[in-house]
Structure 1
Amino acid sequence: MIDSFIPAPDTQRQMREALGLFATGVTVVTCMTPRGPMGITVNSFTSVSMDPPLILWCPAKASRRHDAMASASNFALHIMGEDQDEVALGFTRTAEAFEGFDWITSDKDVPLIENCPARFECHIRDRIDAGDHTVIIGHVDRVTTTPATPRVFMAGNWGNFLHQD
């Protein structure tokens, strides 16, 4: 059955379900805040530019972490691996989920999760008001990769992408 609707407050659930049909990676963004290291699990991440190297992510303004994350001058975005579900789930529950896994602090005082398929260390270039979210554009200062399988999120489920050689 084909379903068509106009996005509105009473169709937000349908809108969320339709957007959920787009597979994304599972990422955790970390930064240092006045109250200490903070992290948040996000799927609103994309590449913006190769020259200069830019990425973006979008925290929800309704999040209690929004103001601290959006005002940080530096952050790290971690693409999570299939063996890092507990780390990613931890940051869906609390901003301070740094116990139980390996992490270090960068030379810019940003918490860095280790052993991720990819990690992007950034300084904030732009903050753009975008409805109920803020678009944060980061200039990538350093990239670290590890041979690991990334975690994928789609339609409310986590999984893996199977590729054929």
Structure 2
Amino acid sequence: MSGLPDAFREVMAGVATPVAVVTTLSGGDPHGTTVSSFASLSLAPPMVMAALDRSSSLLGRLAVGAPFGVNVLGSSQADLAGLFARRAEDRFAGVAWSEDTGAPRLGGCPGWLACEVSDLVPGGDHVIVLATVLHASAGSGAPLTYHGRRFGTHTPVAA
């Protein structure tokens, strides 16, 4: 059992995940953080889930019924992912964004989901945010992914 955390970490590093920035407004100010634990949950109704570290400053700003956004990053946005992953006072400094359905929408992202928190579920050292999708907007371009502790993108293989 003593080697399980390291082995688990290695196995999960081999799983490619999407990269997104989850955002919300609190007191009129934008807040956000990078997540790689994000997935669709349901089509009827449209729902997503994202896992936030219990120490995340964003988590304290979310409650059931709160609006938030999921900015799905594109392959050219690794710098943006890094910016929102850091523990910084104002991650939005110099970042283009606008309010959309009650949440900050970052400029240039190929995917946008406006959501409302449905439930917050404890999950180990994280909290799983279950959310109903209120609005979705899809653009074009390759997604930003995280694999092997590095940012990259998806490359289709021949069938």
**Which TM-score band (shorter chain)?**
0.7 to 0.9
Letter in 1 for 2:109: C
Name the counterpart of 2:70: 77
Query: Is 1:106 the equivalent of 2:100?
Result: yes
TM-score, normalised relative to structure 1 = 0.85
**Gapped regions of structure 1 (runs ≥ 5):** 1-5
Cα RMSD, aligned residues only: 2.1
Percent of aligned pairs with the same amino acid: 25
Name the counterpart of 1:130: 123
* Match runs of 1:11-160 below 5 Å: 11-34=4-27, 36-69=29-62, 73-93=66-86, 94=88, 96-108=90-102, 110-160=103-153
- Count of residue pairs brought into register by the alignment: 157
Structure 1 stretches of 4+ moved >3 Å: 69-72
Gap change, CA 1:164 and 1:20, over 3 Å in 2:
closer
CA distance in 1, matches of 2:40, 2:101: 24
More strand as a share of residues? 2
CA offsets per residue over residues 16-67 of structure 1, 9 Å max, x none? Answer: 2211111001111000123721010001101110000000001011334331
Shift of 1:69: 4.0
TM-score, normalised relative to structure 2 = 0.88
